[in-house]
Amino acid sequence: MTERAFSVTIDGETQVVHIRREGEEHLVRIGDSQERRARLDQVRGPLYALRLGERTIEVMLRRTGEETQMVVGGAACDAVVVDEARARLAKLAGASSVGTAKRELKAPMPGLVVKVLVQPGEATHKAQPLIVLQAMKMENELSLPHDGVVQHVGVEPGQTVEQGQVLVVLE
Amino acid sequence: MRAAPFTKLLIANRGEIAVRVIRACHEMGLQAVAVYSDADRDALHVRMADEAFHLGAAPASESYLRIDRLIETARRAGAQAVHPGYGFLAERPDFAEACGAAGLVFVGPPPSAMRALGLKTEARKLMAAAHVPYVPGTLDPLPTVDAARAAAEAFGFPIALKAVAGGGGKGLRIVRDPADLDAAFRQATSEAGAAFGDASVYVEKAIERPRHVEIQVLADQHGRCIYLGERDCSLQRRHQKVIEESPSPALDDDLRRRMGEVAVQAAQAAGYTNAGTVEFLLAPDQSFYFLEVNARLQVEHPVTEMVTGIDLVREQIRIAAGEPLGYDQSAIQPRGHAIECRINAEDPAAGYLPSTGTIVGFRPPLGPGVRVDSGVEEGGQISVHYDPMLAKLIVWAENRERALDRMDRALREFLILGVKTSIPQQLWLINHPAFRYGDVDTAWLERTWTGTENVERAADDRALAAIAAALHADAAAAHVAVPASAPAHAAGRSSWRAAARAGWRS
């Protein structure tokens, strides 16, 4: 009957999941793989049972808007789920595309800026420590997962920052 | 000479260790009094206790570290004893003294022993006098970077700069290159000052590729002191223990006996009573060096409980009440193998960034040989105010290999949603050949871990996660209610192991 496609981005990697519904059944295809019967049943609260053919996998998940927080196989991950049809509409309407690379280093938690390790104009490589933030009694070196050039440093040593506050912006 | 037995005990702590002590109280027929900060109003330890008293605001300095309020609360509650747990005030002699002055029994060593052992340089002098082998280095604090340099050159690089008042790796720096000494001295003193209110540091020669092996001791107030085997805590990062086990794969019976006897010697030299831990560095040539005494219950105490069958918290309370141990060294016959994983709210793949937020889902593992000591449940908050440990997962089995397999199984069953956890890294560690063969040292994890280890495994998980996320989004979009009553007794087998074998993409 109807087929819907969702692009799901996890760890920066996007996969397209096609879902076709036939009565009670869902037939799922991911990338170029074969179509399989699948269903997702809520057990209680955030606990779900994912069934793929005869396979069962326990999943914990919670969705807020396009973001889905989940735990699969012991590992937590965040998935951004975009309905392909809607994304096409959004594109036609000229909206900015989904999944622009994160160029901002934000404070992952409230804390005290101990050190600023870069200056505007400085070229940085991925995983290079940019800021040292003291929180939970530990000094944490914060970095970004890509190369860039420092455009702006928003904080200075000794400053207290809130969670989500922008610390460094890369070009 | 039996001390007046007490019936009501206040726990000056929070989280899993408060829960642990409350459980012991209830098993012993004692009333448990909890204390809490603004952040812990509805916490598990508050709900489990018989009574709970508010201390103050969320920062520990305004609640769990307030000696005056704790003593006042104990008075108001009519408690006759105080258990400090670990961390916070557990190793503060002034707190133990304040308890004593208020007529409260402090469940821990006497303040004099805490003082003798609390400052590392003083402890080292004590051990030197008692002929306990200690790590070569200075016996006095070094006031200036020049003094540190002179000592470092005398003992030879690499050296460790250590906080005199230290613990938990704070104020500790390993220096390999003399050129790094100035910066390391500055960092170590500033970190020590911030963490302990005492910035002084001293120098120890760095032992290359050591294991961390610690001996649990119990000493009653009647002169009996015994050791309860060892714990191997060599898997560490930033000097924080990640996985602990007992027995150590590096010890044979002879070395175990020698280390145990030295640990008893060390405890007795300090006039120690109650439960304590004597930490050693074990060099590859099997020589061992006194590191410090942890004058309290340890986070990792359950592994000793699992192999010895002795309830350490119960013994702590009994000893504090003045009761004799009632058994001697020959009664300690460790059996099987126990391992503990500290499940932290942090992301080892992103520089171990602490992860804060609400625990949305929490499904701990169960089954044979599995123990979970935890202070959180679904709905609990992980805040920046306290340490990021969510739970301790402890397993026991008849030997090390089976314990590792059991830990692997239990980690896969453990589902925590809402914050990032250390579980993926621990799964990797438990299955790593070097750890399986018992061939690690205290710096191994930091040398080896790059943060990308789980990528291969995640590829298959990613596909599963993507399907689940898409199905969930589809159900919501189509306004098709996901049936809430569907049975899901499919949980039994390890889903992930099956996933790894079958490979969704293949």
Q: List CB contacts of B264: < 8 A, sequence separation 6 or more.
A: B217, B225, B226, B227
Q: Angle, nearest 10°, between helix axes B15-27 and B312-320?
A: 70
Regions in chain B scoring below 70 on pLDDT:
1-4, 456-457, 479-506
Cβ <8 Å between A60 and B457: no
Q: Which residue of A has its CA nearest to B458?
A: A75
What Rg do the C-alpha atoms of chain A give, in angstroms?
Answer: 21
Q: Do A3-92 and A104-170 come out as alike in CATH topology?
A: no
Q: How far is B350 from chain A (nearest CA, A)?
A: 9
CATH 3.30.470.20 domain residues, chain B: 209-335, 336-453
Specify the CATH number of the domain B336-453.
3.30.470.20
Predicted local confidence at residue B479, as pLDDT: 56
Q: Where are the domains of chain A?
A: 3-92, 104-170
Q: Which of the two residues, B380 and A108, has the higher pLDDT score?
A: B380
B149 is catalytic: no
- CB-CB under 8 Å, A43 with B468: no
pLDDT value for B55: 97
Residue span(s) of chain B under CATH 3.40.50.20 come to 8-107
B491 touches chain A (CB under 8 A): yes
Q: Phi and psi for B408 in degrees, rounded to 5? A: -55, -50
A98 touches chain B (CB under 8 A): no
Mutation for testing the B interface, residue in A2, A16, A17, A106 having most B CBs under 10 Å: A17
Taking the CA of residue A30 and the nearest CA in chain B, the distance in Å comes to: 7
Active-site choice (B14, B296, B371, B409):
B296
On whether any CB of chain A is under 8 Å from the CB of B473, the answer is yes
Give the end-to-end CA distance of chain B in Å, rounded to a whole number: 73
**Is the separation of the CB atoms in B420 and B346 below 8 Å?**
yes
The pLDDT value recorded for residue B195 is: 85
B173-211 per-position pLDDT tens digit: 999 999 999 999 999 999 999 888 899 999 999 998 999
Q: Which CATH number fits domain A3-92: 2.40.30.10, 3.30.700.30, 3.40.50.970, 3.40.190.10?
A: 3.30.700.30
Please spell the DSSP secondary structure of A100-143, one letter per residue: PPP-EEE-SSSEEEEEE---TT-EE-TT---EEEEETTEEEEE-
How many angstroms separate the CA atoms of B459 and B506, rounded? 12
Confidence at residue B504, expressed as pLDDT on a 0 to 100 scale: 41
Domain ranges in chain B with CATH number 3.30.1490.20: 136-205
Q: Residue B293 in 3-state DSSP?
A: strand
Q: Give the mean pLDDT of A119-141.
A: 80
pLDDT digits (tens, 9 = 90+) for B120-141: 999 999 999 999 999 999 999 9
User: What's the complex ipTM?
Assistant: 0.81
Size of interface A-B (CB pairs under 8 A): 215
For residue A30, give the nearest of B191, B463, B496 by CB distance: B463
Please answer yes or no on whether B496 and A74 come within 8 Å at the CB atom: yes
Angle, helices B93-101/B67-77, rounded to nearest 10 degrees: 30
Q: What is the 3-state secondary structure (H, E, C) of B110-166?
A: CHHHHHHHHCHHHHHHHHHHCCCCECCECCCCECCHHHHHHHHHHHCCCEEEEECCC
Q: How far apart are CA B333 and CA A11, in angstroms?
A: 49
> Do residues B241 and B300 make contact, with C-beta atoms less than 8 angstroms apart?
yes
Chain B CB contacts of A136 under 8 Å are 354, 384, 386-388
Could you tell me the pTM of the whole model? Answer: 0.84
Q: Is the pLDDT of residue A145 over 90?
A: no
Instruction: Fold for A104-170, please state it.
Output: OB fold (Dihydrolipoamide Acetyltransferase, E2P) (2.40.50)
Average pLDDT of chain B to the nearest whole number: 91
3.40.50.20, 3.40.1550.10, 1.10.3720.10, 1.10.540.10: which CATH number matches B8-107? 3.40.50.20
Contact A75 B499 (CB under 8 A): no
Beta bridge partners of A135: A138
A159 close to B (CB below 8 A): no
The pLDDT assigned to A94 comes to 61
Within an 8 Å CB–CB cutoff, is residue B353 touching chain A? yes
pLDDT of residue B70: 98
If one compares A18 and A73, the residue with the highest pLDDT of the two is: A18
Question: How many Å is the maximal CA-CA distance in chain B?
Answer: 77
Domain B136-205, CATH homologous superfamily name and number: ATP-grasp fold, A domain (3.30.1490.20)
DSSP B491: G
Say how many C-beta atoms besides its own lie within 10 A of residue B152's C-beta. 26
What confidence tens digit (pLDDT) does each residue in A21-43 have?
888 789 999 988 899 999 999 99
Q: What is the DSSP string of A80-94?
A: EEEEHHHHHHHHHTT
Q: Which CATH superfamily is domain B209-335 in?
A: ATP-grasp fold, B domain (3.30.470.20)
Task: Out of A41, A137, A143, name the one closest to residue B483 (CB).
Answer: A41
Burial of B175 from C-beta contacts in 10 A (0-12 / 13-18 / 19+): buried
The minimal CB distance from A136 to the residues B354, B420, B496 is found for B354
Q: Where are the alpha helices (DSSP H) in B163-311?
A: 181-196, 253-269, 301-308
> How far is residue B402's CA from residue A166's CA, in Å, rounded to a whole number?
48
